[in-house]
Structure 1
Amino acid sequence: MATEFTLYSIRNPDAARALAAELLRGLYARVGVEPDVDLDDLARLVIAVVEGARTQSYVEPDVLAPGRLEQQFRPRILRGLAAGTSGLPQVPGPPSDPGPTVETAR
C-alpha cells in the first residue's frame, strides 16, 4: 500500500499531499485538537519521514526491518503534534540572516 501511495504521489503530488493533509485533519479531529501547524507542510514532513525510513531499511536490511522506524516513531510524532506546544519551552527558530556557514581563508 505504501508503495502504491508513493507511486501515486509521484504522478499526482498535489493530490497526494491533499490526501495526506486530509488524513491528518481527520486524526486531529478524532483527538479533538485544532492543529497549530500547516497541515500541507506536516503532510510533506510525514511523507518524507516515512519514505526516508523505508529507504534506510534498504541501506541496513540486516538491522532494520522495513516499516520498523515508521511503526515505532510515527505514533509518537503524531501524538506529540496533537498535544501541541502548550507548556513547553519555546525553541528559537533560525535567525533571519544566518550569514555564511563556512568561513573561508583569505
Structure 2
Amino acid sequence: MNKKRDKGQSHSTRPARAGPPRWLKLDMSPSDIELLVVELAKKGYTPSMIGIILRDQYGVPLVKQVTGKKLTQILEKYNVKLPVPEDLLFLMKKAVNL
C-alpha cells in the first residue's frame, strides 16, 4: 500500500473536447475575441491577465476552445509580442525580490 500517491489529487481538469462548450453563448465572433486580445495586450496586460479578464468580464472560458488558437499565437499573428516570455519574466522578478 503506497499511501503517498493518494494525496494531492483533488484538482479540476480541463475538458478534453476541442470546440467551445455547448452552454457557451457568446455575442462575439472568434475574430472579435482576437481583436480584444490584441487591444488588451497593447494596454500592457500579460497573457495570463488577458485570460482572466476574458473569463471574468466577457464569459470566455478558454481562448483556445473558442478561437482555435492559443493566446500567444494570436499575439504573434498580430505582431504583438512580449520582449520576454511571461514565465521567465516572473522568475526574474522573483529573483530580484530575494
Q: Same fold (TM over 0.5)?
A: no
Normalised by the length of structure 2, the TM-score is 0.31
